[in-house]
Amino acid sequence: MDITKKVWEILLTEEEINNRITQLGKQLSDEYRDEKLLVVSLLKGSFIFTADLVRKMDIPVKIEFMTTSSYGHSEASSGQVKILTDVGDDLSGYHVLVADDITDSGLTMKYVMAHLSKKNPESVKCCVLLDKPDRRVVDLVPDYHGFTIPDKFVVGYGLNYGDYFRNIPYVFVVTDKDR
């Protein structure tokens, strides 16, 4: 499928995304105001969301990155989560907030949260831009989310098609219609 020749149906505009992230940033600032907060961004997809989210927070935030893999270039998770880049071994004293672009099957987020819980944090919660509960295969409800979306393959705002289109400032769905 040549995505550039298909119709892009905008699911979430740049303005809608910005407004919701502003709300999340305020909520998280209020909830973690007196805590040591470590935000762990799951690369590659969450880098735009995490950057925008932490800039909307008005509290001190430490930021780390993890790289995981379960998709490759497919539209569906392989079901096997691999940690390619990890954070430090001891998270004592920190409340950990895992930030990701999307939770659909829930496999990656559940795996990462369990992994980080073994590193002695005060707490581990997650915040995702997009929640796609219709695809959930594990018992996981994001602690914080921007939008609940239908079971469609989405691209843009950090979400990729192959290795491209992460830089699009909105979230779109590719339709079967040709341009």
* Per-residue pLDDT at 1 exceeds 60: no
Question: Looking at 69-83, 140-154, 159-173, which range is the least confident one?
Answer: 69-83
Which helix (H) or strand (E) segment is 178 a member of? strand 171-178
Cβ(38)–Cβ(54) under 8 Å? Answer: no
Whole-model pTM: value is 0.91
Mean pLDDT of the region 147-174? 94
Domain span holding position 96: 3-178
Least confident of 32-41, 74-83, 132-141: 74-83
What pLDDT is recorded for position 173?
A: 94
Q: How far is 126 from 108, CA to CA, in rounded Å?
A: 11
Is residue 104 part of the annotated active site? The answer reads: yes
Rounded Cα distance, 94 and 102, in Å: 24
What is the per-residue pLDDT for 73? 47
**Mean pLDDT within 52-61:** 98
Number of domains comprising the chain? 1
Q: What pLDDT score was predicted for residue 76?
A: 52
Average the pLDDT over 99-115 and give the result. 96
Tokens 């079971």 belong to: 151
Describe the strand order of the beta sheet including 37-43 as a list of residue ranges. 82-85, 61-69, 37-43, 95-103, 123-131, 144-148
| CATH number, domain with residue 82 | 3.40.50.2020
- Which is catalytic among the residues 52, 100, 101, 104? 104
- Please give the average per-residue pLDDT across 34-56, as a whole number: 97
Token pair 């609940």 is found at 148
